[in-house]
Amino acid sequence: MTRIPLIAGNWKMFKTGPEAVDTATHLAQACADVQNKDIMIAPTYVCLPLVATAIADTSLHLGAQNLHFEKQGAFTGEISADMLAAAGVEYVIIGHSERRQYFFETDETVNKKILAAVSNRLKPILCIGETLAQREAGNTFLTLDKQVADGLKSVDPERLQDLVIAYEPVWAIGTGETAGPEQVETVHRFLRTLVDTKISSDLARTVRIIYGGSVKPDNIATLMCIEDVDGVLVGGASLDARIFTQIVKYD
């Protein structure tokens, strides 16, 4: 089973519209010759239509960083799945640890968002990861098991064909600290087995499990060599088109 690697950039709350268009345009040019890798960028909501236009007819894919699970309604400041789909969005990041930490998202809301995404044919990137305290208490696997099981609860496996799971240990995000290759290998293998036993064997074979947390040009090759690592979710190092291109074109 060959899974096409996904190299994804999460731009978080960075870049104005013109800056986002500039970065996306440069990235698309620099990566025009890349084959057999999916490259995705997730700008802020307001930049989505601008970036969608800038990368139309290029090989880049567009992602959003969040969504609301209701279709529409009196939810000031929120954006629904079908609004994203209509704006040309293909992927959506769900349950990022910053959303869980600062905006109090729970596995329950994550689950509703996954359901909303798949109902609108958006490809969900389910983010999971343990905090340092959870790791030190020996609860890494328990935490991840719960995040996956609750996040995907009652979702028809048939609708999860495009699911991506992003393992982002919270202590490795924006800290310059990366999980060691053995840690990443162990967790990714655990996650694939978890999908196999709790959801479906077919899905376990196809689901892309990607790593996030201080991914840089100098550690990408090591990470991508690890079995069961099907790509990366990059924060800080995706903001600069030149640096992100080095990550995309690792060898």
213 is in an annotated binding site: no
Which residue ranges make up the site for ligand 13P (CB under 6 A)?
Answer: 10, 96, 168, 173-174, 212-215, 233-237
Q: Kindly state the smallest distance separating residue 97's Cβ from ligand 13P, in Å.
A: 7
- Residue sitting closest to ligand 13P (CB): 235
Nearer to ligand 13P, 92 or 204 (CB): 92
63 is in an annotated binding site: no
Nearer to ligand 13P, 33 or 104 (CB): 104
231 is in an annotated binding site: no
Catalytic residue among 96, 98, 130, 188: 96
Q: Kindly state the smallest distance separating residue 96's Cβ from ligand 13P, in Å.
A: 6
212 is in an annotated binding site: no
Q: Kindly state the smallest distance separating residue 251's Cβ from ligand 13P, in Å.
A: 20
Q: Centre a 10 Å sphere on the Cβ of residue 52 and count the other Cβ atoms it contains.
A: 16
Nearer to ligand 13P, 118 or 179 (CB): 179
26 labelled catalytic: no
Binding site for substrate: what residues are annotated?
10-12, 174, 214, 235-236
